[in-house]
Amino acid sequence: MFSSGALSDVRVIDLTQMLAGPFCTQVLADHGAQVVKVEPPEGEGMRRTGPFLPDDEFRSFGGYFQSVNRNKGSIALDLKHPEGRQVLKELVSSADVLVENFRGGVMERLGLSYEELSAINPALVYATVRGFGDRRSGESPYYEWPAYDVVAQAMGGIMGITGPDEHSPTKIGPGVGDTVPALMLAIGILSAVHHARRTGEGQFVDVSMVDCILALTERIVYQRSYQGVAPRPEGNKHPLLCPFGLFEAKDGWVSIACATDALWRKLAHAMERPDLAEAPECATNAARVQHADLVIGALQAFTRQRTKDELKAILGGQVPFGPVYTAADVFGDAHFQVRNMLVEVDHPGSERRVTIAGVPIKLSRTPGGIARRAPMVGEDTDRVLRSIGMPVDRIRELRATGVVG
């Protein structure tokens, strides 16, 4: 955690699990927020998800958990026990934010609803991310449905325009159904904290995973409204811009994007096809979209004869261009090294250091970063409870009864 980070005066209670919630709170922690991960005594379930290092003696967590829980402290707390719930309320009294992603109604059944906790701390920002949102913002007919990334991708519309052809909707590789809602929740939290600092009024922040994917897939909405169409998967090309997509090289694939006529002219000359720069079928984007087979055929003929490195030498810096990278390519490219996007951290129980993705948001005066690996279960229980003024004797009693760990 960064004492000089932009969010160093923001205290967050993190009750989240899986990916969406932890990714959100990690974004806050990366910029200095004091994030306390509240876990059951046995730890969050994702600790048991690998991959694990071969020499990991502890197996406190694997790569999945390490990647989305850095910069956080951990307190083990049994919320099924009345005394455990009382401890959480004491934590809430001095917190700025509480984040949870349980199914709707869980916190209400525990007596820890927004209404009950905001009565303790009126400035509290209570944030949730669920598959179909919270009924406080409008009860979805799917409110009771559980949801994961793949469900959000399916119902949010992004799968419906992704795939090799119109008959083959395809899942996006990474969990955007989780990570995009996480980022939007972080924006909502920061907005609500800003308001609370001005007015002393907290509020409920509600993010639906499906809503966020629809927002990410925004063009299907205006295409339906403006054109009366329901877009389908279109492979590696764009319905409104040409050329704009993926093209085969000798040894893989590259991306090329010419969103303007000026860029197209540069590309045509780089291809040694000046005839295509001003040809009526290609001179404007509208013409290129209409004659996409001609344009894409000419470009593919050019790219297939060259390797990714050869195309990089010809097109890099001239038009928007990038080779399609594997993880091995990412680790080998200087860009990610100089941008500090591959960061080594310790892994408890192993002699090895491991690499996780760095912090993409760069602030010049209050830079974020990775100061700490993911915590072991309850690693910070004593420190956190002492920080709210809890006597050592009481902490010892709570530990003896199994309420904290």
At CA 254, angle to CA 162 and CA 165, rounded to 5? 25
Both structure tokens of 327: 């993880």
Whole-angstrom Cα distance, residue 232 to residue 293? Answer: 18
Do residues 220 and 142 lie in contact, with contact meaning Cβ atoms separated by under 8 Å? no
User: What is the rounded CA–CA span in Å between residue 229 and residue 160?
Assistant: 13
CA distance 210 to 193: 24
Provide the b/e sequence for 118-141 (b: ≥16 CB within 10 Å).
beebebbbbbbbbbbbbeeeeebe
Q: Give the C-alpha separation, 335 to 330, whole Å.
A: 8
- Would you report the helix, strand and coil content of the chain in percent, each value rounded to 5? 40, 15, 45
Is residue 51 reached through a cis peptide bond, with omega within 30 degrees of 0 on the bond before it?
Answer: yes
First and final C-alpha spacing in the chain: 22
CB of 140 within 8 A of CB of 111? Answer: no
State how far the Cα of 16 lies from the Cα of 32, in Å rounded to an integer. Answer: 18
Active site residue 134: no
- Active-site pick, 78, 134, 178, 206: 178
Task: State the DSSP string of 290-350.
Answer: HTHHHHHHHHHHHHTTS-HHHHHHHHTTTSSEEEPP-HHHHHH-HHHHHTT-EEEEE-TT-
Other Cβ atoms within 10 Å of 252 Cβ, number = 15
Q: Measure the CA–CA gap between 128 and 125, rounded to whole angstroms.
A: 10
> Based on C-alpha coordinates, what's the Rg of the chain?
25
Q: How far apart are CA 158 and CA 170, in angstroms?
A: 9
Residue 324's identity, in one-letter code, is: V
Question: Which residues carry out catalysis?
Answer: 178
